[in-house]
Amino acid sequence: MEYRMSQLQALLKLLEENNAAINEALVQDLHKPAFEAEVSETCLINNEIIVALNNLNTWMTDEYVTKNWATMLYTAYIRKDPFGVVLIIGPWNYPLSLLLIPLVGAIAAGNCSIVKPSEISKNTEKLVSDLLPRYLDPECFAVVCGGPQETTQLLENKFDYIFFTGSPNVGKIIMAAAAKHMTPITLELGGKNPCFIDNACDPVTTAKRVLWSHFFNAGQTCVSPDYVLCTKEMEEQLVLAMKETLEEFYGKDPKQSPDFARIINDRHFQRLKALLGSGTVAIGGDYDEKERYIAPTILVDVKETDPVMQEEIFGPILPFLTIEGPDEAIAFINQHERPLATFVFSPDSKVVDDVLQQTSSGVFWSNDGMMQMTLPSLPFGGIGTSGMGMQHGKFSFDTFSHHRAVLLRGLGMEGLNSIRYPPYTERNLRL
Ligand code: NAD
C-alpha cells in the first residue's frame, strides 16, 4: 500500500509543481479558458487522488462474504488483485484529466501502466511525456506517444487490461485488438446526448444551465448536450433567452472572449463548418478559419435527417428539434443509440421520472449538466455504443482490480464430506 500511496502523492506533486505549464499547454492546444482548465482538468484529477488516498486502505481490504451451510467451515472472501500491466489510451478534449483520472485508479489498484496521450493535443502530449517519468517510478509507469500507427503497434502487445477513452469507431478497433489476447477492457465512448426541455421550464434558468454545459470547452465534451428536444413554443422562448445568456457569458463578440475555447484542429473545424448548413441559424453561425473559431451557434428547423443529426457534434453547435411533448421525446430518444448522458429539464418530477424510467443511457441528469464529474461516489460510464465499464472513485479501483474469489479450508473434519462422495445413495439425495 505504501508504494501505491507514494505514486499517488507523486502525481499530486506533479500537478502542484507544474500548474502553470499545464494551463499553458491547454491554452496552446485548445485555447482552454483558465477556469475551465482548473475545474475540468487539474481539480478533477486532484479530487480523484485525494479520494483514493483517503480510501485506499478500505478499498484494498479483503471483503469477507456471507456463507451457506455447505461452506460453514470455510473462510470466504474477495481479494482485490491488480491485473498487471494496463494500457490507458486518452482523447484530446480533456487531454490531461481523461488520461490521469484512469491512471489514479490503475495506481490505486496496484497496476503498472503505460499511458498513451492523444497525439492531437500535442502540447499536452509532450508535457505528459516529459513530466510523468520525472515523478512516477519509471520501472512501473511509462508514456508512449503517437497516433493511430503507433497505437496499432502498441496494441499488438499483450496487456492485462486496456482502458480506452475516445470515439465509438476507434473503440471497435480497440475491442478487436483486445480480443486477440482476450484482454478485458473499459471503453469510455461518446455519442449524441439528448436534452429534453419541458414546456413548464423557466427559459432563462434553463438557457443558462444548458448553454454552460454545451459551450464549456466549445462543446468538445463527451457529456455535452448534443441536441435539444422541445416544443416549437418552448424553442421560441429559449432562443430569446439563449441570445441574452450568450451575451452575458461571452459578450457581444464571443471571439474576443477569454472564456470561449477553440476547435482542436483543422479537420474538426472543417467537419463542424459543414454542419452549420443544417436547419436555420438562429444565433451565431460565424467562424474564423485561421483561429479555428466557431461562434456559439443555435440551429432551429433541424430535421432528424440533417447532417448535424447523423454524428456526435462535439463542437459549439446546438441544434433544436421540435416535438409535441415528453412522450414524443422519449420515443425519439429510444429510436437512437443509447447515449452517454440524457438530460431532462422540467420542474415536474413526474416528467423527469418518466424519462428516467422509459429510456436508457450511461448517466442521467435533470435540470443541470456535468456536475457529476465532481462526484466520485457515482459511477461514470456509457452503455451500448457509448461505452462499457465505469470509473471514478472506488469504481475506478474496482475496474482496475481483479476480484479474486478465495475459499479456504483446512484438512480436518473429513468425515463430514462423506455425504457428497460417490457412490451416491438415498442419503446423498436427501441432502
Ligand atoms: P479518437 O477515438 O479519435 O482517439 C482516441 C485515442 O485513440 C487517441 O489517443 C488516438 O491516438 C487513438 N486512436 C485514434 N485512431 C486510432 C486507431 N485507428 N487505432 C488505434 N488508436 C487510435 O477520439 P478523440 O477524437 O480523441 O475524442 C473524441 C471522442 O471521444 C468523442 O466521441 C467523445 O465523445 C469521446 N470521449 C468520451 C469520453 C468518455 O468519458 N466517455 C470522454 C472524452 C471523449
Phi and psi of 115, rounded to 5°? -110, 140
Answer whether 133 contacts ligand 1 (Cβ < 6 A): no
Decide: 135 and 16 in contact? Cβ < 8 Å.
Answer: no
Which tens digits make up the pLDDT trace of 146-203? Answer: 999 999 999 999 999 999 999 999 999 999 999 999 999 999 999 999 999 999 999 9
91 Cα: distance to centroid of ligand 1 (angstroms):
5
Dump pLDDT digits (tens) for 88-112: 999 999 999 999 999 999 999 999 9
For residue 287, give the 3-state DSSP assignment.
strand
The residues that are catalytic are 188, 222
62 Rama class: left (phi>0) / alpha (psi -120 to 50) / beta? beta
Four-point Cα dihedral 409, 411, 414, 417, nearest 10: 40
Show the cell assigned to 75. Answer: 473462510
The confidence score (pLDDT) of residue 128 equals 98
For residue 353, report the distance from its CA to the centre of ligand 1, in Å: 32
What's the pLDDT at 426? 79
Ligand 1 atom with the shortest distance to the CA of 174: 20
What is the mean predicted confidence (pLDDT) over 359-380? 95
The pLDDT of residue 425: 85
pLDDT digits 0-9 by tens, 250-278? 999 999 999 999 999 999 999 999 999 99
Average pLDDT, the chain: 97
Ligand 1: which residue has its CA nearest to atom 39?
A: 188
Q: Is the CB of 143 inside a 6 Å radius of any atom of ligand 1?
A: no
| Cα–Cα distance for residue pair 393/58, rounded to 1 Å | 12
Q: Is 279 in the pocket of ligand 1 (CB under 6 A)?
A: no
Residue 388, ligand 1, Cβ within 6 A: no
pLDDT number for residue 330: 98
Question: C-alpha cell of 97?
Answer: 484529466
Among 222, 267, 396, the mutation site with the greatest number of ligand 1 atoms within 8 A of its Cβ is 222
Query: Which one has a higher pLDDT value, 429 or 239?
Result: 239
- Interval 349-357 mean pLDDT: 98
List the residue whose alpha carbon is closest to atom 35 of ligand 1: 166
Task: Give the pLDDT confidence score for residue 139 in this predicted structure.
Answer: 97
Pocket probe for ligand 1: among 40, 165, 172, the residue whose CB has the most ligand atoms within 8 Å is 165
Distance CA 103, CA 89 (A): 10
405, β-bridge pairs: 78
Nearest to 407 by CA among 71, 82, 81: 71
Q: What is the pLDDT of residues 400-431, one digit of tens each?
A: 999 999 999 999 999 988 889 999 987 777 76
Q: Please count the residues of the chain.
A: 431
pTM of the model: 0.96
Q: What is the structure's pLDDT at 67? A: 97
